[in-house]
């Protein structure tokens, strides 16, 4: 059942040709948003590229009576990110919501991880969030300074790997952790311009997860498919709408029918000598503090 919660809004979704991005684009359009569908059409490891996936999603939205336009630029480049925002403004005359979702995997254990694989994953995830965010917020700042303060929304895509770590995914986990920090900074810096910035850590069946979680993520023969990417999209739609007023700088885990507000680093047990510690004193105090502290959540894939 749709409610039209995004009627009149214009949304940009990166990596929207497949998986979670496709589900978000379709859900936003179903709720009345006009959508810019960005996708390079690359393979799981980021190689190759074709316009087909983005075009197919645009066609799906239009077939359902919605409005959409495709964008095939690389959002991890200044030119691609700028043209993404320009496409929304030139096609639909405004921009209200940015969903940063694009990414790919190059998983290796740390000692086998090549520098190129590190750089490529950091580039698409972290830089691919930063540049669209930068250009969108520059537009919204200009609008606010012109007396047209927007109800702007940004939804970034982190991961449980970025919150807890994940064995074999040092590059991906580091990038996704960086996205959380970027979200917090952006939320603090842009609130004066009418911008709200949040992040999600989704768990769903996509090309990026189907091999890692093949058994757990098999689609059921009947009943509720808890791992369908469409389960994550309602939260994204709400966060991307004006109805989420006042919600910013937050991280949400979304999986199946569950939504969790994730609570990050905050001070735990502490000791203050009031003077410089010796190494032995520092060690003794630290062991006492650790005994009082909560046990960390395990890293995904750790034994």
User: Which two tokens mark 216?
Assistant: 């757990």
Euclidean distance between the first and the last CA atom of the chain, given in angstroms as a whole number:
43
In this structure, are residues 26 and 57 in contact, taking their beta carbons and an 8 Å threshold?
yes
C-alpha dist (Å) from residue 295 to 216, 268, 281, 292: 26, 11, 23, 9
- Domain spans of the chain? 10-262
**Between 49 and 139, where is the model more confident?**
139
Using one digit for the tens of pLDDT, what is the confidence trace for 189-245?
999 999 999 999 999 886 555 554 444 555 556 678 999 999 999 999 999 999 999
Q: Is 60 exposed, middle or buried (0-12, 13-18, 19+ CB in 10 A)?
A: middle
**What is the rounded distance in angstroms from the CA atom of residue 81 to the CA atom of residue 280?**
52
HSE, CB side, 13 Å, CA atoms: give it for residue 1.
1
Sign of CA dihedral 14, 16, 17, 20: positive
Q: Is the pLDDT score of 59 beyond 70? A: yes
* CATH topology assigned to domain 10-262: Rossmann fold (3.40.50)
This prediction has a pTM of 0.92
User: Which two tokens mark 140?
Assistant: 């919204």
Return the active site residues.
159, 172, 176
User: Which two tokens mark 158?
Assistant: 């982190």
């Amino acid at each position: 059942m749709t409610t039209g919660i995004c009627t009149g809004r214009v949304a940009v979704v990166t990596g929207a040709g497949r998986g979670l991005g496709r589900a978000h684009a379709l859900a936003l359009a179903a709720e009345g948003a006009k959508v810019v569908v960005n996708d390079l059409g690359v393979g799981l490891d980021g190689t190759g590229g074709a316009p087909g996936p983005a075009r197919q999603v645009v066609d799906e939205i239009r077939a359902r009576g919605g409005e959409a336009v495709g964008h095939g630029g690389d959002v991890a480049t200044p030119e691609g990110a700028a043209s993404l925002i320009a496409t929304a403004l030139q096609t639909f005359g405004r921009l209200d919501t940015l969903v940063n979702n694009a990414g790919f995997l190059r998983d290796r254990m740390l000692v086998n991880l090549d520098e190129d694989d590190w750089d490529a994953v950091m580039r698409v995830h972290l830089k691919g969030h930063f540049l669209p965010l930068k250009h969108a917020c520059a537009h919204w700042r200009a609008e606010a300074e012109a007396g047209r303060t927007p109800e702007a929304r940004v939804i970034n895509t982190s991961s449980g790997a970025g919150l807890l770590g994940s064995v074999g995914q040092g590059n991906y986990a580091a990038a996704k952790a960086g996205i959380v920090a970027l979200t917090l900074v952006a939320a603090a810096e842009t609130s004066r311009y009418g911008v709200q910035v949040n992040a999600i850590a989704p768990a769903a069946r996509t090309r990026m997860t189907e091999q890692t979680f093949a058994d757990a993520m098999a689609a059921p023969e009947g009943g509720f498919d808890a791992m369908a990417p469409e389960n994550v999209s309602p939260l994204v739609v709400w966060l991307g709408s004006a109805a989420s007023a006042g919600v910013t700088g937050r991280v949400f885990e979304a999986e199946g029918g569950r939504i969790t507000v994730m609570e990050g680093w905050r001070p735990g047990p502490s000791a203050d000598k009031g003077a410089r510690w010796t190494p032995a004193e520092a060690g003794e105090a630290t062991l006492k503090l650790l005994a009082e502290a909560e046990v960390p959540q395990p890293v995904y894939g750790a034994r």
